[in-house]
Amino acid sequence: MALVIVEQPKEGVALVRLNRPEARNALSVPLRRELAAAFTVLAADEAIRAAVLTGDARAFAAGADLAEMADLDVRGAMARPTQALSAPIEKFPKPLIAAIEGACLGGGLELALMADILVAGEGARLGLPEIKVGVLPGNGGTQRLPRLVGRPAAMLMLLTGEPVGARRALEMGLISELAPEGGALDRALEIAGRVGAMPPIAAMLIKELVNEGAEASLPAAQTMERRAMALLFATDDRQEGVRAFLEKRRPVFRGR
């Protein structure tokens, strides 16, 4: 059985589903390998302009597979390929939307935080409970969460291990949008369709600038921004966008 299912529900949009329902989509190494392979293929597919990552109604992903780690020592923990297998998702150049229902915990939340836009259903629970079993979030949780929600809120979640509901997650800035329970995927696909209709080179540059600019000084980031803006003036899509605006019609962007 495939642990990751890739579909194309609409033009330009890929839907990536975690498919380990018996374990609430716990992120085993085999699942991570399939996920990395899927995103490697999608990154190179010019027909795909945006992607949605989701689980099922019970869980986006309930965390890492603890059974795999039960007998690990320090050397075994350091040798786990988690970080390497996350790279194709972290570095995915196209807009990525996470659609979250049910449990989004531990490694599942760390995975969701790699997305650009997070949509959660009303009944979703998001948290990093690793401290409860004597470890810590080791795939970006202690670093991404404070940058996203601020140190006080992040420390509360990290040190208590307690999850927050979707509404509280929205208030904290942990998610982008709240959907009715069971409606996260439909809303994420709607957003992906809208994003996929935008000029893809501009979309990829916006994602790159936001991510890289966050780690740079403001003057350096603004220099990067000006250069990216100038590059877009050489694209056919920029010309099409201006012509369509002046001609009062819908633009057709081709990624050139």
Q: Which of 110, 120, 140, 188 is catalytic?
A: 110
- Assess whether 64 carries a catalytic annotation: yes
Q: Give the up-direction half-sphere exposure of residue 226: CA atoms within 13 A in the CB hemisphere.
A: 6
Q: Which of 38, 64, 103, 112 is catalytic?
A: 64
With cut-offs at 50, 70 and 90, classify the pLDDT of residue 81. Answer: low
* Domain boundaries, given as residue ranges, for the chain: 4-196, 200-247
pLDDT of residue 79: 57
Percent of the chain with pLDDT over 70: 93
pLDDT digits (tens, 9 = 90+) for 82-127: 788 999 999 999 999 999 999 999 999 999 999 999 999 999 999 9
Put the strands of the sheet holding 13-18 in their side by side order. 4-10, 13-18, 50-54, 96-100, 117-121, 177-179
pLDDT digits (tens, 9 = 90+) for 186-244: 999 999 999 999 999 999 999 999 999 888 899 999 999 999 899 888 898 888 777 87
Q: Which of 55, 102, 107, 121 is catalytic?
A: 107
CATH top class, domain 200-247 = mainly alpha
With cut-offs at 50, 70 and 90, classify the pLDDT of residue 71. Answer: low
pLDDT of residue 75: 63
With cut-offs at 50, 70 and 90, classify the pLDDT of residue 248. Answer: confident
Residue 133, pLDDT above cutoff 80: yes
For every residue of the chain, which 3-state class applies, written as one string?
A: CCCEEEEEEECCEEEEEECCHHHCCCECHHHHHHHHHHHHHHHHCCCCCEEEEECCCCEEECCECHHHHCCCCHHHHHHCCHHHHHHHHHCCCCCEEEEECEEEECHHHHHHCCCCEEEEECCCEEECCHHHHCCCCCCCHHHHHHHHHCHHHHHHHHHHCCCEEHHHHHHHCCCCEEECCCCHHHHHHHHHHHHHCCCHHHHHHHHHHHHHHCCCCHHHHHHHHHHHHHHHCCCHHHHHHHHHHHHCCCCCCCCC
CATH code, 4-196: 3.90.226.10
- Assess whether 162 carries a catalytic annotation: no
Q: Sign of the CA dihedral 11, 38, 59, 86?
A: negative
Q: Which of 55, 130, 154, 179 is catalytic?
A: 130
pLDDT of residue 77: 55
Q: Which residues have CB under 8 Å from 8's CB, separation 6+? A: 14, 15, 48
Question: What are the tokens at 190?
Answer: 């709607």
> How many other C-beta atoms are found inside a 10 Å radius of the C-beta of residue 66?
14
C-alpha to C-alpha distance for 253 and 238, rounded to whole angstroms: 9
Question: What are the tokens at 103?
Answer: 């449990």
pLDDT of residue 203: 94
Question: What are the tokens at 100?
Answer: 């979250």
Task: Kindly state the average pLDDT of the residues 158-179.
Answer: 97
pLDDT of residue 241: 78
